[in-house]
Chains A and B, each alone.
Chain A
Amino acid sequence: MAKGTIPRRDFLAAAGAAGAGVAAAALPAAKAQAAPAQSAEVPTETWLVLTAEEAAFYSAVADTIIPADALSPSGTECGIPVFIDRQLASAWGAGARMYRAGPFHPGMPEQGYQLPLTPCDFFSAGVVAANAWSHKTYGKTFDRLTPDQRIEALTVMETGKAEFEDFDARAFFQRLLTITMEGFFSDPIYGGNRGKASWRMLGFPGLPATYADKIEEYRNKRYVAEPRSIADFS
C-alpha cells in the first residue's frame, strides 16, 4: 500500500475493531461512516505492523494524550495510530542506524538506551506489558478502560509507580509520549497531524518557511498564514 493512501474509513474501522467502540465514541463526526457492526471483520492488513490489540491500545493512548477539545480533534482523529504504525514499520522502527551488538547490560541512566530491541520490538513488548498490568490493576486491557481510568493509568506509568512485569513502565511511557507528540506535530505526510490540526492549534504556518522579508514587518506582531505541508508543494 502506497504511503499516505490508507483509507480513512478502514483506519477508523480497524481502530474501532479492538477498541470496542471506544475509538468510535471519541469520534462522533466519523461514527456514521464507520459501520460499527462490521468493524470486527475489517482485515488487520489495514495496518503495516500493528496487531488489532496494538491498534486499539494506541488509539486509546492517543485520545487520552490528545483529547478532543476546542483546540484540536482527538489523537485518533489526527491519525496518530496511523503515524505510529508507519513509524514502527519504517527503517527507524526496524532499528536502522542503531548499534545493536552485545553484550547487554542495564547500565547507568547516564548511558542511555541499552536494550537490544528495535523501536518496533520495544513498543510491541511495551503494549503487552502495559495491557497485562492494566488487566491486573483494572481487570481490563487499557483500551477498555473508562476515560478517567486511562488518565489515571497513564499518570501512574508516567510517574514510575506502575510496575510492569519485566519491562520499564516509565521508559515505555516516555517513548509513547514522544512518538504520540511526533505524530501530532510532524508534517502530515507521515500520517499524523491530519488536516494540520496541531499546526492550526499552535499557529505554525509550516512551509515554505522563507521569512527573510517578514522579520521586520512582523516584529512583535503575530504572523498568520494558512499552514501548508510538504505535500502541498509536492
Chain B
Amino acid sequence: MATRLKEIDAVVIGMGWAGAIMARELTLAGLHVVGLERGPDRRPAQDFALPGIRDELKYQQRLELMGDNSIDTITFRNRPDQLSLPIRRWSAFLPGEGVGGTGNHWGGAHWRFQPDDFQLRSYLEGRYGAKAVPDTMTIQDWPVGYDELEPYYDRFDKVCGVSGKAGNLKGRKIQGGNVFEGPRSSEYPNRAMPSSEGGSMFAAASTSLGYHPFPVPFSAASAPYKNIYGVSMGACQECGFCTRTACEASAKASAVTTIMPALRQDPKFELRTRAFVSKLLYDKAAKRVTGVLYTDMKTGMEYEQPANIVVLSGFVFTNTHMLLHSGIGEPYDHLTGKGQVGRNYCYQFEAPAVAFFPEKELNPYMGSPGGGVVIDDFNNASFDHSGLGFVGGGYFAGSSGGAPPIDGRSVPAGTPSWGSQWKRETVKWYYHAVHFNTQGSVYAHRDNYMDIDPTYRDALGRPLLRLTYNGTDNDHAMSRYLLSRLEGIIKAMGPAHYELRPRPKNFTIVPYQSTHNAGGTIMGTNPGNSVVNRYLQTWDAHNLFVMGASTFPQQHGYNPTGTLGALALWSADKIKTSYLKNPGPLVHV
C-alpha cells in the first residue's frame, strides 16, 4: 500500500531538459514543485570532473550516462506481423538517465524547425498538390506556428548560451548564417565556434557549388556566459569527447549546467532522485490526474504524490508508456487508425559519409561538434521537390574532429579489420578523415507506432512499451537523394577516397544511429488528431502537461532539442499566464 504524501502544487516527472525548464518556470511563478527523477543526481563538479570524464571506454562504450535496461526497456520489431523482442542494451539510440537526462550527453546541435515545417501537410499539399502526401503518411500540421514559438526559441537560446551565426535577423538575410531559417528576433548569444579544418573544406566546396554554408548552431558557450537564469557557463575547451559524455567546463548546455544550479538554490523546489514513477493516478470522470505513484529505489517504498499539476517530461518512450499504462487517452490501433496514444512514432534518418585527404593534417581528436559546417539547402522547404518522388529533407554537415581512438578511427572499406595491415591503414588514415552526416526527416507512417507489449515486463512488473518501426519508401528515397547531393560536395573537395554510407533497408537497433525519437503523444488541434493541445496540455486531463519530442507530430530534418526546449517554455508561459488563474482546458474544441 502506497504511503500518501502531502499534496503539492506541481510534480515534474523526469528532470531532463523539459522537466528542468518547467520546474524553473513554475517555481519562478511561486509554485512549490517536486522533481521526480528515476536516475541518480548528476553534479558536474563531482561527476563530470577531469581527469575521469575523459574516459572513452566508460562513457562512449559502456554508456555510463544511459538508461538502465535491466530496470526498464522497450521491445522492438520492424513490422506489425513480427514478434517484438526486448532491446536488451541500448544501441541505435541512447536515452539518458539521471538529472539532466539525455541532455547531459548530447552533441549540442541546437536547431529551429523551418516555418513551413509547422504547417507541413498544408505546405506540401499547397505546393505539390493534394496527392503529394501518400495515404499511409500520417503527417499533420503543428497546432502552433513558427512566429508564435519564436520568442521561446529565442529564450531557449539564452538559457543555453548557444554559439552560432544568424542567417535571418527579423527578415533580413545574412550570408554566412542559415539563409533558410525563419526570422530570428536576435543574434545567437555567443559567437560561432571556430570551424574545424574539415568543416572549412566543406564550406569552401559548398560555396563553390552555390550552396550556403554556415557554422552548426552549437548549444555550448564559446566564451564564458551568464544565462537568463543567472547561471554561469564556462567556455568550450574543444576536448573532442562531447557526444555520449558530459562537460567538465559546464560549457555544453544541459539542464544540469544551465538550470539546476538555480533550481537547487530555490526553496520552492525539491529534487527526489531514484524516484521511479510507475503510474499517473487518473480521475477519468473529473478529467484530471490526482497525482503520481512512485517507488523510491533507495528504500523500496511506494509513495503516492498528489499534485495540482502533473508535468510528464520523460523521454519519448517514457511519456507514451506512462499514458498507455495509466489508461489516459485511447491507444492507437494501426489497422483502424483510431486512437491517438502511440501514434506517429518517428525516428531520424541520418546517413553519413567519410572522405580521406592524405595531404591534410586534421588532428582528429580535437574540436567540438560546433566545429562542424552545415548547409540547409536540401531541407523541406529549401528546395523544389517537383518530380523527385519524395517529400522531406535534411541538412548536411561536414567536420573533422571528435574522433577518439576506440570509436573514432576511420579506414577505407575493404581494409582488414585486424592484423598488421589493419594497423598500417589505421595509422595512415587517422589524421586525414573528414566526416559528414545528412540529418534526414522522418515523416509519420500509419504502421510506425508504439503500444503495450503483450509479453515482457519491467522491474516494477509493468508491461513494456512495444515499438514497431521501419524506414519508409519515402524516407529512403529522401535519404538517397540527400546522399547524392552530398556526394557532389565531397567530390568538389577532391578527396583521395570517399564513401557514402546509405541506410540499410530495414531499421536495426544496432549499431548507434541517432537518439532522435519523436511522436507517441503528439500535438494537434483536437482530440481526434492528437494527445495534447497546442499548449502541451492533454485533452483527457486538463492538469496533465506532456513535454518533449513525444509531442512532435513528425520528425523534421533537424535535431529536436531546440524545438523541445522552446515548446516547454511556451507551455510554461501559458500555464503561468492562463492556467493558474483559471485551471481547465486551455483549448476548447
Contact = CB atoms under 8 A, between A and B. Distances in A.
Contacts of B424: 71
Contact of A204 (B73, B86, B365): B365
Contact of A186 (B56, B76, B240, B509): B56
Interface residues of A, number: 64
Interface string A192-228: 0000001101111111111110111011111100000
Most chain B beta-carbon contacts within 10 A, residue among A69, A95, A98, A212? A212
Contact of B510 (A99, A112, A182): A112
Contact of A97 (B69, B241, B427, B506): B69
Interface in B64-106: 66, 68-70, 73, 76-78, 82-83, 85-89, 91
A97 B366 CA distance: 31
B69 A204 contact: no
Contacts of B508: 109-112
Given A98-B69, A181-B406, A208-B54, A215 B366 contact: yes
B423 interface: yes
A207 B50 contact: yes
Contact of B89 (A99, A101, A189): A99
Contact of A211 (B50, B73, B240, B418): B240
Contacts of B197: 219-220
B496 to A, nearest CB: 16
B83 A215 contact: no
B57 A187 contact: yes
Contacts of B507: 110
* Interface-centre pick from B365, B404, B456, B507 (highest chain A CB count, 10 A): B365
A177 interface: yes
Interface stretch (A28-36, A40-48, A60-68): A60-68
A221 B235 contact: no
Contact of A111 (B76, B194, B235, B418): B76
B253 to A, nearest CB: 17
B237 A212 contact: yes
A154 B418 contact: yes
Contact of A151 (B68, B419, B455): B419
Interface in A153-196: 154, 158, 177, 180-182, 185-187, 189-190
B234 to A, nearest CB: 10
A90 to B, nearest CB: 9
Contacts of B417: 158, 177
B456 A101 contact: yes
Nearest to A190: B57
Interface of A: 64-67, 69, 71-72, 92, 95-101, 103, 105, 107-114, 151, 154, 158, 177, 180-182, 185-187, 189-190, 198-199, 201-212, 214-216, 218-223, 230, 232-234
Interface of B: 50-52, 54-57, 61-63, 66, 68-70, 73, 76-78, 82-83, 85-89, 91, 194, 196-197, 235-241, 360-363, 365-367, 371, 404-406, 409, 417-420, 423-424, 426-427, 430-431, 455-457, 506-510
30 contacts: A71-B420, A97-B68, A97-B70, A99-B89, A101-B457, A105-B85, A110-B506, A110-B508, A110-B509, A111-B85, A112-B87, A112-B508, A113-B89, A114-B88, A151-B419, A181-B406, A185-B405, A186-B55, A186-B56, A190-B57, A202-B430, A207-B50, A208-B51, A211-B237, A212-B235, A214-B238, A218-B361, A221-B361, A222-B431, A230-B54
